[in-house]
């Protein structure tokens, strides 16, 4: 089955009791048993729910995996993966990481004795220098937020396999429409389904997909034992979102390309970070592992003035200033004062998060209106 068919039919069947084409929202916590232990496959909705199960099968299918798991948030799906580890185990993680993931690693799991090494992973060969006999897992996110660096998943998978480690890829920015980490050799793919999979800024959810049966059983155990599951209504919303993922992503990519080129040609812009440019430092890797380049990009205003960035963000009308990304509507953000505010200025400037950096999640509106909105805001500085 091709991807564009999988998003609609992958892992899905009509509801066996009524023939309903979409799985009903099974808003129930529990299921009748005819005799203790005698039931129709479901006992309790933390352990399993038919709406959530339909979504989990869809997620497995679109990622080219065998097993799918859905969680209450992206972070709770990351939490479940980290619970595979024991005190003393080491994780090598990219340093260009979603802020919430960094916080979860560096405050919660550090406290329980997991050791994290944060390194720049665009140079994949440096990973091996940090592997010890305690290393268990490599954590990557690509493209990264907000600098849009691209990490070579195939190369990470080789290093991971040679050293008997697990490779996890946070595929939130790319989505399986653009990039399928399991097919490139990753062991687990992770999503904040809040973003492109849901796609309509109306739900918070996380998801995992993988192929290995033993690993899947351990994760299902953690999902049930720790209990950070999503509800049936949210499962329905994300399942519905996935059915148009290919259409939305195609337009996100077209609009992203148009906005990236407009900004690059604008005299007040110093730099645009978007992996589709041929002179992007990781463009070749992006071409090799991604189908297209997506709708996420960042740009820096000449002069690097904080006030210029704020003025642009306050003026934009079609782009809404808000946290999050991946919805049908275009969003703007100021990493230095929003997502990366807790990082000291010198530290964030080193990774490129300067005062005038603006991040855009380019939506699926008409590209003319998006460009006009940006042109008008830039005219005022």
Residue nearer to ligand PLP on the CB measure, 57 or 195: 195
Residue nearer to ligand PLP on the CB measure, 45 or 73: 73
Residue nearer to ligand PLP on the CB measure, 79 or 373: 79
Residue 334 to residue 78: CA distance in whole angstroms:
25
CB of 381 to ligand PLP, least distance (A): 28
Strand partners, 38: 35
CB of 154 to ligand PLP, least distance (A): 20
Residue nearer to ligand PLP on the CB measure, 195 or 246: 195
Radius of gyration of the chain (CA): 21
CB of 74 to ligand PLP, least distance (A): 2
CB of 144 to ligand PLP, least distance (A): 8
CB of 205 to ligand PLP, least distance (A): 6
CB of 130 to ligand PLP, least distance (A): 22
Residue 293 to residue 274: CA distance in whole angstroms:
8
Residue nearer to ligand PLP on the CB measure, 141 or 234: 141
List residues binding ligand PLP (CB under 6 A): 73-75, 98, 100-101, 141, 145, 170, 172-173, 192, 194-195, 204, 206
Structural contact between residues 67 and 209, judged by C-beta atoms closer than 8 angstroms: yes
Cβ-closest position to ligand PLP: 74
CB of 343 to ligand PLP, least distance (A): 16
Residue nearer to ligand PLP on the CB measure, 296 or 378: 296
Residue nearer to ligand PLP on the CB measure, 205 or 269: 205
Residue nearer to ligand PLP on the CB measure, 190 or 301: 190
Residue 289 to residue 281: CA distance in whole angstroms:
15
Phi, psi of 77 (to 5 degrees): -75, -35
Tell me, letter by letter, the H, E, C secondary structure of the chain.
Answer: CCHHHHHHHCCCCCCCCCCCCCCCCCCCCECCCCECCECCCCCECCCCCHHHHHHHHHHHHHCCCCEEEEECCHHHHHHHHHCCCCCCCEEEEECCCCHHHHHHHHHHHHHCCCEEEEECCCCHHHHHHHCCCCEEEEEEECCCCCCCCCCCHHHHHHHHHHCCCEEEEECCCCHHHHCCHHHHCCCEEEEECCCCCCCCCCCCCEEEEECCHHHHHHHHHHHHHHCCCCCHHHHHHHHHHHCCHHHHHHHHHHHHHHHHHHHHCCCCEEEEECCCCCCCCCHHHHHHHCCCCCCEEEEEECCCCHHHHHHHHHHCCCCEECCCCCCCCCEEECCCCCCCCCCCHHHHHHCCCCCCEEEEECCCCCHHHHHHHHHHHHHCC
Structural tokens at position 259: 């906005």
Question: Which positions are annotated as active-site residues?
Answer: 46, 98, 170, 195
CB of 145 to ligand PLP, least distance (A): 6
Residue listed under structure tokens 């660096």: 149
């Amino acid at each position: 089955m091709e991807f564009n068919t999988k998003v609609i039919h992958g892992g899905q069947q009509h509801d066996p009791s009524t023939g309903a084409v979409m799985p009903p929202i099974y808003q129930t916590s529990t299921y009748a048993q005819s005799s203790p232990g005698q039931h129709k496959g479901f006992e309790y909705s933390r352990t399993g729910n038919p709406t959530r199960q339909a979504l989990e099968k869809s997620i497995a299918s679109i990622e080219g995996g065998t097993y799918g798991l859905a969680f209450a948030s992206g972070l709770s799906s990351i939490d479940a993966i980290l619970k595979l580890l024991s005190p003393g185990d080491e994780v090598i993680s990219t340093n260009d990481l979603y802020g919430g993931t960094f916080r979860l690693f560096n405050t919660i799991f550090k406290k329980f004795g997991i050791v994290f090494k944060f390194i720049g992973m665009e140079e994949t060969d440096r990973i091996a220098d940090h592997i010890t006999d305690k290393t268990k897992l490599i954590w990557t996110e690509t493209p990264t937020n907000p600098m849009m660096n691209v990490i070579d998943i195939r190369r990470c998978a080789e290093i991971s396999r040679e050293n008997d480690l697990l490779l996890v890829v946070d595929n939130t920015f790319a989505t399986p429409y653009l990039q399928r980490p399991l097919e490139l050799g990753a062991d687990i793919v992770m999503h904040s389904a809040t973003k492109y999979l849901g796609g309509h800024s109306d739900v918070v959810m996380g998801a995992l997909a993988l192929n290995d049966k033993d690993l899947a059983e351990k994760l299902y155990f953690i999902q049930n034992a720790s209990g950070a599951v999503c509800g049936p209504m949210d499962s329905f919303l994300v399942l519905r979102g996935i059915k148009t993922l290919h259409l939305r992503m195609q337009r996100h990519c077209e609009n992203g390309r148009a906005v990236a080129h407009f900004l690059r040609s604008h005299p007040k812009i110093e730099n645009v970070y978007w992996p589709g440019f041929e002179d992007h430092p990781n463009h070749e890797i992006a071409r090799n592992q991604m189908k297209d380049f997506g709708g996420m990009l960042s740009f820096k205003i000449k002069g690097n003035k904080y006030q210029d960035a704020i003025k642009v963000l306050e003026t934009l009308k079609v782009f809404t200033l808000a946290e999050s990304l991946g919805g049908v509507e275009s969003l703007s953000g100021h990493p230095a004062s929003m997502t990366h505010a807790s990082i000291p200025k010198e530290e964030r400037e080193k990774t490129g998060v300067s005062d005038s950096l603006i991040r855009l999640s380019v939506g699926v509106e008409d590209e003319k209106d998006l460009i006009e909105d940006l042109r008008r805001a830039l005219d005022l500085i």
